[in-house]
A and B are shown apart, each in its own frame.
Chain A
Amino acid sequence: MSIIVGYAITFAAGVAYVLRLGRREGALPPSDPSSPPSGGTQEGVNGDTEQGTPESRASDARKP
Protein backbone atom coordinates (compact mmCIF):
# COMPACT_ATOMS: atom_id res chain seq x y z
CA MET A 1 0.00 0.00 0.00
CA SER A 2 2.79 2.45 0.93
CA ILE A 3 4.47 1.75 -2.39
CA ILE A 4 1.36 2.63 -4.37
CA VAL A 5 0.92 5.82 -2.32
CA GLY A 6 4.55 6.77 -2.99
CA TYR A 7 4.30 6.22 -6.73
CA ALA A 8 0.89 7.95 -6.86
CA ILE A 9 2.23 11.06 -5.07
CA THR A 10 5.19 11.22 -7.46
CA PHE A 11 3.07 10.99 -10.61
CA ALA A 12 0.39 13.33 -9.25
CA ALA A 13 3.07 15.92 -8.51
CA GLY A 14 4.56 15.49 -12.00
CA VAL A 15 1.19 15.82 -13.73
CA ALA A 16 0.18 18.79 -11.55
CA TYR A 17 3.44 20.56 -12.39
CA VAL A 18 3.02 19.97 -16.14
CA LEU A 19 -0.61 21.19 -15.97
CA ARG A 20 0.49 24.28 -14.05
CA LEU A 21 3.07 25.04 -16.73
CA GLY A 22 0.35 24.62 -19.36
CA ARG A 23 -1.98 27.00 -17.51
CA ARG A 24 0.76 29.63 -17.19
CA GLU A 25 1.61 29.25 -20.89
CA GLY A 26 -2.06 29.57 -21.78
CA ALA A 27 -2.46 32.71 -19.69
CA LEU A 28 0.18 34.53 -21.77
CA PRO A 29 -0.82 36.30 -24.97
CA PRO A 30 0.18 34.44 -28.14
CA SER A 31 3.69 35.28 -29.22
CA ASP A 32 3.80 37.64 -32.21
CA PRO A 33 6.87 37.38 -34.44
CA SER A 34 6.75 41.11 -35.13
CA SER A 35 6.84 42.04 -31.45
CA PRO A 36 9.92 41.97 -29.14
CA PRO A 37 11.24 38.42 -28.77
CA SER A 38 9.12 36.04 -26.76
CA GLY A 39 9.63 32.31 -26.86
CA GLY A 40 12.01 32.60 -29.77
CA THR A 41 15.48 31.22 -30.11
CA GLN A 42 18.21 31.85 -27.58
CA GLU A 43 19.89 34.09 -30.11
CA GLY A 44 16.65 36.07 -30.26
CA VAL A 45 17.02 36.99 -26.62
CA ASN A 46 20.76 37.21 -26.27
CA GLY A 47 22.05 38.16 -29.64
CA ASP A 48 22.58 41.61 -31.02
CA THR A 49 19.28 41.71 -32.80
CA GLU A 50 17.20 44.74 -33.69
CA GLN A 51 15.00 44.03 -30.72
CA GLY A 52 17.92 44.23 -28.31
CA THR A 53 18.89 42.12 -25.35
CA PRO A 54 16.87 41.72 -22.15
CA GLU A 55 19.61 43.72 -20.44
CA SER A 56 19.28 46.65 -22.84
CA ARG A 57 15.50 46.42 -22.78
CA ALA A 58 15.60 46.33 -18.97
CA SER A 59 17.62 49.55 -18.92
CA ASP A 60 15.29 51.07 -21.51
CA ALA A 61 12.32 50.17 -19.33
CA ARG A 62 13.89 51.97 -16.38
CA LYS A 63 14.47 55.20 -18.34
CA PRO A 64 12.03 57.95 -17.44
Chain B
Amino acid sequence: MQRTLGALALATIAIGTIIGLFIVPADGLQGEIQRLLYVHVPTAWVGMLAFFFVFIMSTLYLVQRRLDWDLMAASAVEIGVVAIALTIILGSIWGQGTWGVWWEWDPRLTTTALLLIVYVGYLVVRSMTEDPDQRARWCAVIGVIGFVQVPIVYLSVFWWRSLHQPPSSPRSMATVFGFTLLFNFAAYTIGFAYLMMRRYRLAKRELSLELAGPDAEP
Protein backbone atom coordinates (compact mmCIF):
# COMPACT_ATOMS: atom_id res chain seq x y z
CA MET B 1 0.00 0.00 0.00
CA GLN B 2 2.76 2.42 1.02
CA ARG B 3 4.85 1.66 -2.05
CA THR B 4 1.81 1.92 -4.35
CA LEU B 5 0.95 5.30 -2.86
CA GLY B 6 4.56 6.45 -3.21
CA ALA B 7 4.70 5.36 -6.86
CA LEU B 8 1.35 7.05 -7.54
CA ALA B 9 2.55 10.27 -5.88
CA LEU B 10 5.78 10.25 -7.87
CA ALA B 11 3.96 9.59 -11.17
CA THR B 12 1.24 12.21 -10.67
CA ILE B 13 3.72 14.88 -9.48
CA ALA B 14 5.92 14.14 -12.52
CA ILE B 15 2.93 14.41 -14.89
CA GLY B 16 1.70 17.58 -13.14
CA THR B 17 5.15 19.12 -13.48
CA ILE B 18 5.39 18.29 -17.19
CA ILE B 19 1.92 19.76 -17.82
CA GLY B 20 2.72 22.87 -15.76
CA LEU B 21 6.15 23.47 -17.28
CA PHE B 22 5.78 22.41 -20.89
CA ILE B 23 2.17 21.88 -22.00
CA VAL B 24 0.06 24.68 -20.51
CA PRO B 25 0.62 28.06 -22.22
CA ALA B 26 2.22 30.88 -20.24
CA ASP B 27 -0.10 33.40 -18.62
CA GLY B 28 -0.70 36.45 -20.84
CA LEU B 29 -0.12 38.96 -18.03
CA GLN B 30 2.48 37.36 -15.73
CA GLY B 31 4.35 35.41 -18.39
CA GLU B 32 6.45 32.31 -17.67
CA ILE B 33 6.86 33.01 -13.94
CA GLN B 34 3.18 32.12 -13.45
CA ARG B 35 4.18 28.45 -13.88
CA LEU B 36 5.44 28.58 -10.29
CA LEU B 37 1.77 28.75 -9.30
CA TYR B 38 1.45 25.01 -10.00
CA VAL B 39 3.81 24.22 -7.11
CA HIS B 40 3.32 27.27 -4.88
CA VAL B 41 -0.45 26.80 -4.46
CA PRO B 42 -0.38 22.97 -4.01
CA THR B 43 2.38 23.23 -1.35
CA ALA B 44 0.30 25.89 0.43
CA TRP B 45 -2.71 23.56 0.21
CA VAL B 46 -0.72 20.64 1.64
CA GLY B 47 0.48 22.85 4.51
CA MET B 48 -3.07 23.97 5.36
CA LEU B 49 -4.38 20.42 5.02
CA ALA B 50 -1.63 19.14 7.32
CA PHE B 51 -2.40 21.77 9.97
CA PHE B 52 -6.15 21.03 9.75
CA PHE B 53 -5.25 17.38 10.30
CA VAL B 54 -3.14 18.42 13.30
CA PHE B 55 -6.12 20.32 14.72
CA ILE B 56 -8.39 17.27 14.40
CA MET B 57 -5.81 14.85 15.83
CA SER B 58 -4.90 17.20 18.69
CA THR B 59 -8.57 17.62 19.61
CA LEU B 60 -9.02 13.84 19.54
CA TYR B 61 -5.97 13.43 21.77
CA LEU B 62 -7.27 15.94 24.32
CA VAL B 63 -10.60 14.09 24.41
CA GLN B 64 -9.39 10.47 24.32
CA ARG B 65 -5.75 10.71 25.50
CA ARG B 66 -4.59 8.12 22.97
CA LEU B 67 -0.98 8.57 21.92
CA ASP B 68 -1.79 7.46 18.37
CA TRP B 69 -3.55 10.79 17.77
CA ASP B 70 -0.49 12.62 19.05
CA LEU B 71 1.82 10.68 16.74
CA MET B 72 -0.41 11.47 13.75
CA ALA B 73 -0.49 15.16 14.69
CA ALA B 74 3.29 15.31 15.08
CA SER B 75 3.79 13.58 11.72
CA ALA B 76 1.47 16.07 10.02
CA VAL B 77 3.20 19.06 11.64
CA GLU B 78 6.58 18.00 10.27
CA ILE B 79 5.21 17.66 6.73
CA GLY B 80 3.19 20.89 7.06
CA VAL B 81 6.27 22.84 8.15
CA VAL B 82 8.23 21.61 5.10
CA ALA B 83 5.28 22.48 2.82
CA ILE B 84 4.77 25.99 4.23
CA ALA B 85 8.51 26.72 4.15
CA LEU B 86 8.46 25.74 0.46
CA THR B 87 5.37 27.90 -0.10
CA ILE B 88 7.22 30.93 1.30
CA ILE B 89 10.37 30.24 -0.75
CA LEU B 90 8.38 29.73 -3.97
CA GLY B 91 6.27 32.80 -3.25
CA SER B 92 9.44 34.79 -2.69
CA ILE B 93 10.85 33.72 -6.08
CA TRP B 94 7.52 34.58 -7.69
CA GLY B 95 7.48 37.95 -5.85
CA GLN B 96 10.94 38.83 -7.13
CA GLY B 97 9.80 38.13 -10.69
CA THR B 98 6.49 40.01 -10.51
CA TRP B 99 6.71 42.59 -7.70
CA GLY B 100 10.46 43.13 -7.98
CA VAL B 101 11.09 42.28 -4.31
CA TRP B 102 11.87 39.01 -2.51
CA TRP B 103 9.83 39.92 0.54
CA GLU B 104 7.18 42.43 1.49
CA TRP B 105 5.55 42.85 4.93
CA ASP B 106 2.22 42.18 3.30
CA PRO B 107 -0.61 40.69 5.46
CA ARG B 108 -0.62 37.34 3.61
CA LEU B 109 3.17 36.95 3.71
CA THR B 110 3.46 38.06 7.32
CA THR B 111 0.65 35.81 8.61
CA THR B 112 2.12 32.86 6.67
CA ALA B 113 5.53 33.47 8.25
CA LEU B 114 3.85 33.59 11.69
CA LEU B 115 2.06 30.32 10.85
CA LEU B 116 5.41 28.70 10.13
CA ILE B 117 6.86 30.03 13.40
CA VAL B 118 3.91 28.61 15.39
CA TYR B 119 4.40 25.09 14.03
CA VAL B 120 8.19 25.23 14.25
CA GLY B 121 7.49 26.10 17.90
CA TYR B 122 5.37 22.94 18.12
CA LEU B 123 8.35 20.87 16.97
CA VAL B 124 10.70 22.67 19.37
CA VAL B 125 8.36 22.01 22.32
CA ARG B 126 8.13 18.39 21.21
CA SER B 127 11.89 17.95 21.10
CA MET B 128 12.30 19.53 24.56
CA THR B 129 9.81 17.31 26.40
CA GLU B 130 10.81 13.77 27.35
CA ASP B 131 7.66 12.48 29.04
CA PRO B 132 5.38 11.10 26.26
CA ASP B 133 2.12 12.08 27.99
CA GLN B 134 3.25 15.58 28.88
CA ARG B 135 4.71 16.04 25.38
CA ALA B 136 1.46 14.91 23.78
CA ARG B 137 -0.62 17.17 26.04
CA TRP B 138 1.43 20.31 25.42
CA CYS B 139 1.65 19.68 21.69
CA ALA B 140 -2.09 19.01 21.45
CA VAL B 141 -2.80 22.38 23.06
CA ILE B 142 -0.48 24.10 20.56
CA GLY B 143 -2.06 22.08 17.73
CA VAL B 144 -5.54 23.30 18.66
CA ILE B 145 -4.69 26.93 19.45
CA GLY B 146 -2.19 27.24 16.57
CA PHE B 147 -4.86 26.32 14.04
CA VAL B 148 -6.49 29.73 14.63
CA GLN B 149 -3.69 31.07 12.43
CA VAL B 150 -4.82 29.02 9.38
CA PRO B 151 -8.12 30.87 8.63
CA ILE B 152 -6.33 34.15 9.42
CA VAL B 153 -3.77 33.37 6.67
CA TYR B 154 -6.54 32.43 4.22
CA LEU B 155 -8.70 35.48 4.96
CA SER B 156 -5.83 37.97 5.28
CA VAL B 157 -6.15 38.99 1.62
CA PHE B 158 -9.80 39.91 2.24
CA TRP B 159 -9.43 41.51 5.66
CA TRP B 160 -6.52 43.82 4.89
CA ARG B 161 -5.21 45.67 1.85
CA SER B 162 -2.82 43.10 0.46
CA LEU B 163 -0.30 43.08 -2.33
CA HIS B 164 -0.84 39.34 -2.62
CA GLN B 165 -3.54 38.30 -5.04
CA PRO B 166 -6.77 36.68 -3.73
CA PRO B 167 -6.66 32.89 -3.26
CA SER B 168 -5.98 31.05 -6.52
CA SER B 169 -8.34 28.20 -7.27
CA PRO B 170 -9.45 26.34 -10.42
CA ARG B 171 -12.60 28.53 -10.39
CA SER B 172 -10.67 31.80 -10.50
CA MET B 173 -8.82 31.10 -13.76
CA ALA B 174 -9.17 29.85 -17.34
CA THR B 175 -10.07 26.14 -17.71
CA VAL B 176 -6.66 25.04 -18.93
CA PHE B 177 -4.88 26.69 -15.98
CA GLY B 178 -7.59 25.48 -13.60
CA PHE B 179 -7.23 21.86 -14.74
CA THR B 180 -3.45 21.97 -14.28
CA LEU B 181 -3.80 23.43 -10.83
CA LEU B 182 -6.45 20.85 -9.89
CA PHE B 183 -4.23 18.02 -11.15
CA ASN B 184 -1.31 19.29 -9.08
CA PHE B 185 -3.57 19.68 -6.03
CA ALA B 186 -4.43 15.97 -6.38
CA ALA B 187 -0.80 14.95 -6.99
CA TYR B 188 0.56 16.81 -3.96
CA THR B 189 -2.31 15.54 -1.79
CA ILE B 190 -1.33 11.96 -2.71
CA GLY B 191 2.27 12.91 -1.88
CA PHE B 192 1.09 14.18 1.51
CA ALA B 193 -0.77 10.91 2.17
CA TYR B 194 2.36 8.91 1.32
CA LEU B 195 4.63 10.99 3.56
CA MET B 196 2.07 10.83 6.38
CA MET B 197 1.95 7.06 6.17
CA ARG B 198 5.75 6.74 6.32
CA ARG B 199 6.25 9.37 9.01
CA TYR B 200 3.51 7.94 11.21
CA ARG B 201 4.94 4.40 11.00
CA LEU B 202 8.34 5.77 11.94
CA ALA B 203 6.83 7.71 14.86
CA LYS B 204 5.12 4.55 16.14
CA ARG B 205 8.35 2.57 16.04
CA GLU B 206 10.27 5.37 17.76
CA LEU B 207 7.65 5.62 20.51
CA SER B 208 7.69 1.86 21.08
CA LEU B 209 11.47 1.99 21.50
CA GLU B 210 11.23 5.03 23.75
CA LEU B 211 8.70 3.30 25.99
CA ALA B 212 10.70 0.09 26.03
CA GLY B 213 13.59 1.96 27.66
CA PRO B 214 17.24 2.73 26.85
CA ASP B 215 18.19 -0.98 26.58
CA ALA B 216 16.10 -1.26 23.42
CA GLU B 217 17.81 1.69 21.70
CA PRO B 218 20.07 0.71 18.77
Chain A's closest residue to B218 (CB) is: A29
Question: Which B residues touch A53, using CB under 8 A?
Answer: 66-67
* Bound-complex Cα distance A58 to B36 (A): 46
In the complex where A6-B90, A21-B199, A24-B202 touch, is A46 in contact with B66 (Cβ < 8 A)?
yes
Known pairs A36-B208, A58-B211; A29 contacts B216 (CB<8 A): yes
Q: Are B205's CB and A6's CB within 8 A?
A: no
Tell me which residues across on chain B come within 8 A of A17, comparing CB atoms.
Answer: 79, 82, 195
B65 at the A interface (CB under 8 A): yes
Interface size, chain A (Cβ < 8 Å): 34
- Name the residue on A nearest B20 (C-beta): A7
- Whether A54 lies near B218 (C-beta < 8 A) is no
Are B211 and A9 interface neighbours, CB within 8 A? no
Q: Chain A residues near B90 (CB, 8 Å)?
A: 6, 9-10
> Are B208 and A37 within 8 A (Cβ)?
yes
* Contact bitstring B177-205, A, C-beta under 8 A = 1, else 0: 00000000000000100010011011011
Distance, CA A35 to CA B90, complexed state (A): 45
CB distance from B30 to the nearest CB of A (A): 11
Chain B residues packing against A (C-beta within 8 Å): 17, 21, 32-33, 35-36, 39-40, 43, 65-68, 79, 82, 85-86, 89-90, 93-94, 96-97, 131-133, 191, 195, 198-199, 201-202, 204-209, 211-213, 216, 218
Q: List 6 A-B contacts (CB under 8 A).
A: A2-B33, A6-B93, A27-B218, A37-B208, A54-B67, A62-B131
